[in-house]
Amino acid sequence: MANSNYFTTQTNKYQTEEFVDLMAPEQIQTDAKRICRELIKGRIDIGKYGKYFQNAKFTDNILIGVQSEYDFNATNARVLNFYNNQFPGDRQAQYNFYVSNILSYCYYTILIRLQSLKSSMYENIGVLTDIPIILRNYKNFDKL
C-alpha cells in the first residue's frame, strides 16, 4: 500500500478505527519513533488523523516515547560533543554528533507540541499541523 501510514496500518491490523483501545501502552510508546518519522515526512494528515492525538491514552504514551527518544539523542549529542572537544578530528564521532543533534532537535520540536496539546486538554490539535513545515529540512534525513 503506497499511501500507508501508521494509522492505516494499525486500522488494518486491528480491523477497527478504535485500535488505540486495543493497544498496550508500551506498544504505543514503542511506536512513537515511527509516528514522529511520519509526522516529519508529512505522511500524517492531522485533519484526518488528529482524532487519535485527542485520545489521552494515545498522546500520553506517545509523549513518553518521544521524551525517551529526545533524552537518548540529547544525551548522546552532549557526550559526543565532550568527546569531540577532547579528541578532535574523529570524523565518525563528529558525524554521530551531527546525527544525534538533528534527532534531538526533531524530537524536541514534536515533544513541545505534544505537551502543548496535552495542556489544552487534547483540544487544540492545530499545534501539530506545522510539524512537517518546521522540520521540512529533515524529511529526507535517512536516520529518522
Give the pLDDT band of residue 2 (cuts 50, 70, 90).
low
The pTM of this model reads 0.93
DSSP state of 102: H
For residue 144, pLDDT beyond 90: no
Burial 49-59 (b: 16+ CB within 10 A, else e): bbebbebeebb
| Predicted confidence (pLDDT) per residue in 30-66, tens digit | 999 999 999 999 999 999 999 999 999 999 999 999 9
The owner of cell 518546521 is: 134
Q: What span, in angstroms and rounded, lies between the C-alpha atoms of 84 and 44?
A: 37
Tell me the pLDDT tens digit for each residue of 92-139.
999 999 999 999 999 999 999 999 999 999 999 999 999 999 999 998
State mean pLDDT over 13-41.
97
Assign 1 a pLDDT band (cuts: 50, 70, 90).
Answer: very low
pLDDT at 85 over 80: yes
